Structure 1
Amino acid sequence: MHRLFAELEPSLTVTEQNLADRVRYLLRSNIFDVAELERLRREAVPSLDENATAEDAAAQIVEQPANVDAAVNTPVMVDSNDDGTVAQELELEHMRSTLEEAIAETRSTSLENRPRLPRIALSKRNLAVVRTLNPMLVTYLEASRDLWETNSILFGAALAVCRIIGAKLSTAGRATGQSSAIPAWRIRIEERIAKARALIDILICFRSGNNGPRIVRTVRMAFAGTNVSLSQPDIMQKLTDRIDHLKRRITASGKWIRRYTERSTRFNQNLLFHSDPKRLYKSLERPKVRGTGSAPNQADTVAFWRDLWSEPVNHSEGPWTEVVAGQCASITPMDPVIITPDDVAEAVRRAPNWQIPGLDGLHHYWSFGHHSFGS
């Protein structure tokens, strides 16, 4: 390989190890698929066309979008005298109906209730399915009226691909999966804290003179296994000691949770510092703020901003404004910034395929990855 590269590019000085590393990187990063690599190979070395093996020819046949038999493992009954056209049409119709159902389902489902999209293997069969669905999306995308509908179309198409190739989908929504991120040990400790607080409330009620049968039964259970009896003359002191003991346990458990949370945060920050320092510094400078209330509706939002901007207001400006205006007069205005689709594509071209940049749960692969719906 190194000798062939030296013949093709005599002006470049590359070692054998460096060339092997670059080839390994290209193959692992999936920058080019099998068909693209084959095309580049044939353009670089045309003489090798005659030595193409039967496996290369079979790979090209599998990569063609029209050959859906290689893309979908769905049994189809066809006539033995048929040339395969009927099978392809049936497979295309099955894929089209699956796509329509997935898009309609996504449009009527909120973000929280959408299923989790799994990572799919970048095999020839899966890529063929994506390429086959790409032309079917043209009509949907051209008729899209806003970004929400475009996102629903892309998510529905990704859902259709997962169903066609038989990928495993979670039935529960993404909101349910997020709650399982809390460690089991923390859940157990928080449950013990809640029980201790409830017991403290009952002991305080009994100490205040509430002798209801349910409260008395709970107090007896709290002193079970000890020599404490409710008829003892120093029962009030025993109750106070028991309450203080429970409060100390709650404080110790809270410190335990806080200590392990801080340790986990430090561990994750150290990992992020080695992998993506820029992202770590941003998270330290601007901590995440999560809203607790529901979002306002459109009518309230419009009414709020209309009251602020629709009424003209005369402001009394001081002399300092003239000084600032004079200092800014010599500044050249900045050229208008026009963001084109090519700029967006270039900015996200090297992003990881299976990263989820937003709350919609749509992997980057389905929007801007190679051979994806957005490419």
Structure 2
Amino acid sequence: MLVTYLEASRDLCETDSILFGASLAVCRIIGVKLSTAARATGQSSAIPAWRIRIEERIAKARALIGRLICFRSGNTRPRIVCTVRMAFAGTNVSLSQPHIMQKLTERIDDLKQRIAAWGKRIRQYTERSTRFNQNRLFQSDQKRLYKSLERPIVSGTGPAPNQDDMVAFWRSLWSEPVNHNEGPWTEVVASQCAGITPMDPVVITPDDVAKAVHRAPTWKSPGLDGLHHYWLKGFMVCQAMLARQFQEALNQKSLPSLFTTGITHLVPKDEGATDPSEYRPITYLPTIYKTLTSILSARIARHLDSNQVMSRAQN
């Protein structure tokens, strides 16, 4: 079925939509739970349901401890007394007993032990989840794993920067034209590049697309289209169509705006950063566009290597 639809595709945008529709159909057939959010994607920051439940228990236990301590300190307001009675519901303890203070202390200690046990459970689950994610990342992208181990990810949980300052800072870089004065280094670079043989016109083949898709991380963050490399690897019949349409885009020297548009995320360079200049902009672009740039980068690298070999042979 996919071959039939791809043969009717007129450009890269239609091919992208066809591949996304095919991936959506596969997910529905095999019963994968799909998010109801838009196709714009990013790393999910949702807290697992089990952790939310445990944290709610901890919050309720801490609130109960606070009210028990208030009652033990002599606070006999009706709400406090009602909470204490509920804390001892189902037991033979009554507030009129002579040893009620000792029972309160025992109840508070019991709640504190439960909070400690729940906190330990969260840490154990978190450590196990971290190990699982690291093992999976080791299989898919070892370089990214080693980078994450050497440089811990900045969570950015500190105070958020002022939105107006952030907009003004990046608008001055992206929206306002700037006249740069080129220094003498440009002439040096031009003289060094004068001996480089110009590249032949790039001809993209299905084999180039297959190699680029094979090199790409399977689940790397996609762009606005929400299409991962996983589907380009699985739908191998699309590689010939992509090669033809990539060639057409190069010949026309233009790409649809879909492939050069994305949502920019500002990632803090350091913990607690508030200055707009301390944030690094990252934009997720569509997977198909990344495949094209990967092919061109590999072709340029091979061309430069061949020039270096020829230069050494001449010397």
Normalising by the residue count of structure 1, what TM-score does the alignment of the two structures yield? Answer: 0.43
Which fold has the larger relative contact order, with Cα–Cα distance below 8 Å and residues 6 or more apart in sequence?
2
Normalising by the residue count of structure 2, what TM-score does the alignment of the two structures yield? Answer: 0.50
